[in-house]
Structure 1
Amino acid sequence: MSVTVRAPAKVNVQLAVGAARPDGFHDLANVFLAVALYDEVTVAPAAELKVTCSGPDAGQVPLDRTNLAARAAELLAARHGLEPAVHIHIDKDIPVAGGMAGGSADGAGALLACDALWGLATPREELLSLCAELGSDVPFSLVGGAALGTGRGEQLTELPVGGDFHWVFAVADGGLSTPAVYAQFDRLAAGADIPAPQPSPALLDALRTGDARALAETLSNDLQHAALSLRPALSETLSAGLAAGALAGLVSGSGPTTAFLAEDPTAAEAIARALISSGTCRTARTASSPAAGATVR
């Protein structure tokens, strides 16, 4: 017996970052959009907790108990007085350490899969609370679609989306540490008066109406300057995508993946080919949004 859950990647169409809080986190206005790139997490009974992984960049995925999928199994088991005796296999297709919440998707996927495997029927609000304990992006991986994340990103308000959006994701060589990017943001912002983060009304309206050109005009990421200062070569990738006809481009989350909004699927494919030919990225992937959250297959 096994249970498989498919969980999506995300792109941040707005990431507004406030000043560092006393606990080290930052208040955010984080507009998430789930995209149709997925990891699949399969859990099955085992003698003890074990994690394996296959797919692109699988060698970069930790297989010990620092893996969010393993932590999810342990957290859910502890909540219900169980032993986390499961084999978790991650079939990975979301770029690793790429600012697209692949680890968070695995955490949400494992939580949902273990809940089904163990027949717990945990209420959704409790699952979301457990997701928030695992990490700021994990609740959105469970919810999917589009949502505004406030607090440190874990407090979600689902958002209406009026149509499909088409994306190209340029995958860089190597990853970027999210804590390192936030630390660089703090260094660059030292002494500045940072306003409280607020969602953009124009961006929310563009999502609601499904207007890709309006969305392109409102995309923003307060972490982009920090990510580019740590990885200056990403500026060349952004320039290449825009030159290939993207409506807009930005660093996805904390990077180093860069995201490009395209007019339609045909344009997305052309942009992806141009990015690969430019030599400014390792590969490029196309995907549409919004996508459903973590779902039992």
Structure 2
Amino acid sequence: MVDWSIEPIQFFGIAHFFEKLHTLWMSLLSGICKVCVPAPAKINLFLSVSEKRADNFHELRTVLAKVQLHDLVTVRKAKEKGSTTISCPGNIEIANEHNLAVQMVNHWRSATGIENGIDLLIEKKIPMQAGLGGGSSDAVSTLIGLNLLSQKKLSFDDMLDLGARVGSDCPSFLLRGACVASGRGEQIREVKPDANKKISGNRVLLFKPSCGFSTADIYGRYQVGDSLFPDTNQMDERIEHWESGQLSLIDLMYNDLSSPVLKKFIFITALFKELRERFKLNPMVSGSGSCCFFIIPEGFDIGPVKQLIFDSWGEDIFLTETKLL
């Protein structure tokens, strides 16, 4: 029989070794001054919006899936204590204190008491005012970067709380795969593993007109009575049926905010009609738009569809093929 007992002097020697190792590791961490964190876009596979609550937010249920399209956020320690700078090459109009990433830095400082200067670089690939969550994703990637750089780590719950303070859909970007969000969007849970596995890797075509849509405007035009799901129990049931395999992904896909978008922007309605009739596709608006998408069927020739979209909306639109994470 092997004797695994350790004499006290040996134990304290081992403890001292690990203490030294921990000190060395922390000193190495403190020497890291820059991290780069990808910020994925999202699409809403399902979105149903109920009545306004007392806090003036709508109660909702949504299934959010991340896609491979992403921004890149670089978080760097700066010398000037308490300073925050932000650079967004090609998008100078969002490089200011109103950017959600800057707001996240401010909330992180309040939560941790850390006053390190922070420089942010956001390299945008996700179009703005598109319903793809680019601003919220950038903010969450900023938070992840700050947590990686800091010796005072925030817990996952702490990060969820900070995310919810900055934006309703921020918490969803703390989960890698698809998730179900409720409340105003800040209450999240992972999609059941089998359902998530089935959708991961699906090809998606994203296409956005040259204009962006105001979320506030689209919500302002939304009529709750137009929803197929008048109460949250029916919304939950729809999602549960999909997760359990009783509904296909295509049957799940639905967006209450499509109604105000399609009523206001007739050019989207016309293109959707042609995509359905000519190609048997199921196009949707993501969130409040203006980006639209559809799941690309396996073996489907996407070339003629891309050409139709360019012919309909012009060559200056955003169009890219990506995959669900």
> What TM-score bracket applies, with the shorter chain setting the length?
0.7 to 0.9
Residue equivalent to 2:178? 146
* Structure showing greater relative contact order (alpha-carbon pairs closer than 8 Å, 6 or more residues apart): 1
Work out whether residues 244 and 270 of structure 1, in 8 Å CA contact, stay in contact via their aligned partners in 2. Answer: no
1:12–1:191 CA distance, 2 compared to 1 (3 A): closer
Contact persistence 2:203–2:296 (CA under 8 A): yes
- Number of the residue aligned with 1:107: 139
Larger Cα-atom Rg: 2
Q: How many Å apart are 1:193 and its aligned residue?
A: 11
- Structure 1 residue 279: deviation in Å? 2.8
The equivalent of 2:231 in structure 1 is: 196
Partner of 2:298: 264
**Higher fraction of strand:** 1
Identity between Structure 1 and Structure 2 (%)? 27
Gap runs ≥5 in structure 1: 292-297
Give 1:218 shift. Answer: 2.7
Q: Give the distance between the partners of 1:166 and 1:192, measured in 2 at CA.
A: 28
Q: Give, in whole Å, the separation in 2 of the partners of 1:125 and 1:84.
A: 23
Partners of 1:283 and 1:39 lie apart in 2 by: 15
* Structure 2 alignment gaps of length 5 or more: 1-32
The structure 2 residue matched to 1:69, chosen from 80, 96, 101, is: 101
Please report the RMSD computed on the Cα atoms of aligned residues, expressed in angstroms: 2.7
- Residues 1-297 of structure 1 aligned to structure 2 (within 5 Å): 1-46=33-78, 47=80, 48-54=83-89, 58-59=91-92, 61-83=93-115, 85-159=117-191, 160=193, 161-163=196-198, 164-185=201-222, 188-189=223-224, 195-197=230-232, 198-199=234-235, 201=237, 206=242, 214-242=248-276, 245=279, 247-264=281-298, 267-268=301-302, 271-279=305-313, 282-289=317-324, 291=325
Q: How many residues align?
A: 283
- Given that 2:227 and 2:256 are in contact with CA atoms closer than 8 Å, whether structure 1 keeps it comes out as no
1:243/1:87 CA distance change after superposition, 3 Å: farther
Cα 1:210–1:110 change in 2 (3 A) is farther
| Secondary structure in structure 2 of the residue aligned to 1:54 | coil
What letter is aligned with 2:231? A
Q: Is the 2:49–2:227 Cα contact (8 Å) retained in structure 1?
A: no
Distance 1:122 1:224, change over 3 A: same
Contact 2:205 2:322 in 1 (8 A): yes
